[in-house]
Amino acid sequence: MLGDSQTRHRPLATEKELAGFLTEVERRAFKQAVFAVRDEHLALDLVQDAMLRLAEKYSSKPLEELPLLFQRILQNIIRDHYRRHKVRSLWTTLLSSLRGKDDDEDRDPLDTLEVKEGANRLGGPSEQLERSQTLGMIEQGLASLPARQREAFLLRYWEELDVSETAQVMGCSEGSVKTHCSRATHALADFLKSKGISL
């Protein structure tokens, strides 16, 4: 009951705000879904399904609650897709075979990440081409990750959710989020190294 009264004190999202939120989130959500299902048409269907569910069931929620609700809906829809096609065991096999060997799997890579000064500058044409090619290789590496690692990685580093928010969306502990992220970053680093790229 207390939660309901607290929600009533927060302004609810207007129809215009809901539409604006969905427009803003659509492209990133589509990219996430493509990484997950590796099929652009299917990914678009899943994202549209998630957007419809959000609009139908949660349009009366405050605007600030919509990002987490949408991510939870999208991830549930993606998981349901895999359950229906009976590939869950394949992802479990991949997850167990790609486990990192780092002793400190609960460490969150973002806690120790240092961004170099000027790292966001575009640079010259050759630098931009190299960056574009590296991003393409990262996308290939992401597509090869087990589902839960990729989900944690994208939520943390693409959607920029914190560990607690990511755990809520994924329905797991914060320690599991850190483990998935750590394994994902190690797997991506190994993948890039195998392609001759060191970041």
- Concatenated DSSP letters of 22-52: HHHHHHHHHHHHHHHHS-HHHHHHHHHHHHH
What six digits make up the tokens of 147?
A: 């589902």
CATH domain 99-113+121-194 topology: Arc Repressor Mutant, subunit A (1.10.10)
The pTM score is 0.57
pLDDT tens for residues 131-186?
677 777 888 888 899 999 999 998 988 888 999 999 999 999 999 999 999 999 88
d(CA 75, CA 170): 7
pLDDT averaged over every residue in the chain: 78
pLDDT for 180 equals 94
pLDDT at 122 over 60: no
Q: How far is CA 157 from the centre of its chain?
A: 7
pLDDT tens for residues 79-99?
888 777 654 444 334 333 444
Q: Where are the domains of the chain?
A: 2-84, 99-113+121-194
